Amino acid sequence: MVDQHTTDGRRTAGRDFDVDLDDVLEDDSDGDGLFDDLLSGEPIFENKEVLRPSYTPHELPHRTDQINDMATILVSALRGDTPSNILIYGKTGTGKTASAKFVSQELEKTSKKFDVPCEVEYINCEVTDTQYRVLAQLANTFIEQNKAFIDERVESLQDLADRAREDEWVLDNPDLDRDFETLEDVENEIESLLEEKSEMEDVPMTGWPTDRVYSTFFDAVDYVERVAVIMLDEIDKLVEKSGDDTLYNLSRMNSELQNSRVSIIGISNDLKFTDFLDPRVKSSLGEEEIVFPPYDANQLRDILQHRSDTSFKPDALSDDVIPLCAAFAAQEHGDARRALDLLRTAGELAERDQADLVTEEHVRRAQDKIELDRVVEVVRTLPTQSKLVLYAITLLEKNGVRNINTGEVFNIYKRLCDEIDADVLTQRRVTDLISELDMLGIVNAVVVSKGRYGRTKEINLSVPIDETEAVLETDSRLGDIENVAPFVQARFEN
Ligand SMILES: Nc1ncnc2c1ncn2[C@@H]1O[C@H](COP(=O)(O)OP(=O)(O)OP(=O)(O)O)[C@@H](O)[C@H]1O
Ligand SMILES: [Mg+2]
């Protein structure tokens, strides 16, 4: 079988004959197959991809000011000047990445149109999180471009050489060429270009000294005249993991580059990272600052409305769905990602119910589901010691204890540690771990005064107990603990 392209560009396995889906469904005389019900239900979605985080929207309502600010700064790149460095910050889900990507696409489009050499390199520092990797990735991108540039140049020189071989006059005619006097000159130039190309060596993903990676990157950017805009998304992750060396090196490059210019756009949802920067880096990176404020409920409504027009079938949403999603997400510090997740999940729940209308009820269930997914993820990734503390709290609650105090948690915790041969932390450390669980929203710990007995913490689980317990027990070490009832019994004896 051969691959064929359907009209919408997807690849499908080629078939020898056409099958009409409706015929197959109608022809199903053996009763309903596994997928029949699902397929025959009127689908809720027109195009679910539009609601996924990976989709870059072409229009970003309520971000016009920020987008215009970025464009005003970056337009100097199209005039061949160096744009100021930009620091973009705002809470999670406020459209920083989406806006920056949108602006860089527009910038590259315009630079192609007017044939000005300007390139934007996007790096997600959560993934590419060391100086070595950032510089290597940039070096290899520019090396790739330089090779393509050489290929193009060689091709046109070969063409010139071919014509000159037929007619020497081609090189004498100043209208056709001004750079070469003889055919030999052209051939020499081709040869030296090809040699340069063969010397361009990609940076391996590990192994070189950082100096060498840096100088390879430097030479690669400077190989031709251009303005390179380097976009470092989640820049705080880079600084957290490997300090500010990368930023220091990038920000002082311009004084040494001969042909090209570099400008940096840093994006972060945590402004505190600038406290860890060298003052020179801090002032250079923050030449321009653009703030992305959280969206309010009305703005989220517009954003959802916009995206739902292309993602849902007409009339698939009942009137209160979008306002409710917007209201929920506005409570979560105006996070558009959360709003879109809610809307998509609500749609999926409706689809699963085989309903033809997404309702308020679906949104509420979606809110619970997303919240539960978050809790499961947080609990699953806790360090073992925190899991033990949390496990102790769930065991106490399961046995009907409310307003648990730190001492009670500590007693059960100690027994659990004994059982699995884990180190026992001090009560002071366990108290800290409880505070961390409080900050993560897993437990609620309030300090209450007990009169002359001093103050104590009252701890309650703030997440669903059965799910929490189930996630904890998927940890192989905790799963080994058998018959936990005696531990809790012991608490009453204490
Ligand atoms: N104004 C907007 N219009 C349409 N969609 C938006 C808008 N703002 C954000 N979004 C969408 O919301 C989601 C989150 O946005 P984005 O990834 O840009 O957030 P962010 O500010 O980069 O967050 P983080 O700090 O977590 O990286 C994306 O799916 C994005 O397409
Ligand atoms: Mg982002």
CB-side exposure of 226: number of CA atoms within 13 Å? 23
pLDDT score, position 448: 84
Q: What is d(CA 247, CA 252) in angstroms, rounded to the nearest whole number?
A: 9
| Sequence letter at residue 68 | N
Rg (CA), the chain: 31
The preferred substitution site among 50, 97, 310 for testing ligand 1, maximizing ligand atoms within 8 Å of CB, is 97
- Ligand 1 centre to CA of 285 (Å) is 23
Nearest residue (by CA) to ligand 1, atom 16, is 95
Q: Are strands 3-5 and 11-13 parallel, antiparallel or unpaired?
A: antiparallel
Q: Which residues pair with 447 in a beta bridge?
A: 457
Q: Is residue 191 a contact partner of residue 82, using CB atoms and an 8 Å limit? A: no
- Ligand 1 centre to CA of 316 (Å) is 24
pLDDT score, position 6: 42
- Cα separations in angstroms, 311 against 227, 297, 298: 37, 20, 20
The preferred substitution site among 49, 337, 343, 345 for testing ligand 1, maximizing ligand atoms within 8 Å of CB, is 337
Instruction: Take residue 306 and report the two structure tokens written for it.
Output: 């916009």
By CB atoms closer than 10 A (0-12, 13-18, 19+), residue 4 is exposed
- Ligand 1 centre to CA of 94 (Å) is 5
By CB atoms closer than 10 A (0-12, 13-18, 19+), residue 322 is buried
Instruction: Take residue 26 and report the two structure tokens written for it.
Output: 């109608």
Q: Where are the beta strands (DSSP E) in 246-318?
A: 261-268, 288-292
pLDDT score, position 56: 86
62 pocket-lining for ligand 1 (C-beta < 6 Å): yes
What number does the ligand 1 atom closest to the CA of 268 have?
A: 25
Straight-line distance from the first to the last Cα atom of the chain, in angstroms, rounded to the nearest whole number: 74
97 pocket-lining for ligand 1 (C-beta < 6 Å): yes
Q: Are strands 443-449 and 455-461 parallel, antiparallel or unpaired?
A: antiparallel
Nearest residue (by CA) to ligand 1, atom 9, is 95
Q: What is d(CA 19, CA 433) in angstroms, rounded to the nearest whole number?
A: 61
- Ligand 2 centre to CA of 104 (Å) is 14
Closest CA to 350 of 341, 369, 363: 363
What number does the ligand 1 atom closest to the CA of 56 have?
A: 31
> pLDDT by residue for the chain (494 residues), tens digit each?
444 444 444 444 444 444 444 444 444 455 567 766 656 656 789 998 999 888 888 889 999 999 999 999 999 888 878 899 999 999 999 999 999 999 999 999 999 898 888 999 999 999 999 999 999 999 999 999 999 999 999 999 999 889 888 887 777 776 666 678 888 889 999 999 999 999 999 999 999 999 999 999 999 999 999 999 999 999 999 999 989 999 999 999 999 999 999 999 999 998 888 988 999 999 999 999 999 999 999 999 999 999 999 999 989 999 999 999 999 999 988 999 999 999 999 999 999 998 889 999 999 999 999 989 989 999 999 999 999 999 999 999 998 888 899 999 999 999 999 988 999 999 999 999 999 999 998 999 998 887 777 778 899 999 999 999 999 999 988 887 776 665 566 555 54
- Ligand 1 centre to CA of 261 (Å) is 29
Q: Which residues of 293-310 are buried (b: 16+ CB within 10 A; e: fewer)?
A: ebbebebbbebbeebbee
3-state secondary structure of 358: strand
Q: What is d(CA 342, CA 367) in angstroms, rounded to the nearest whole number?
A: 6
98 pocket-lining for ligand 1 (C-beta < 6 Å): yes
Domains of the chain (ranges, CATH numbers): 3-53+296-377 (1.10.8.60), 64-292 (3.40.50.300), 382-493 (1.10.10.10)
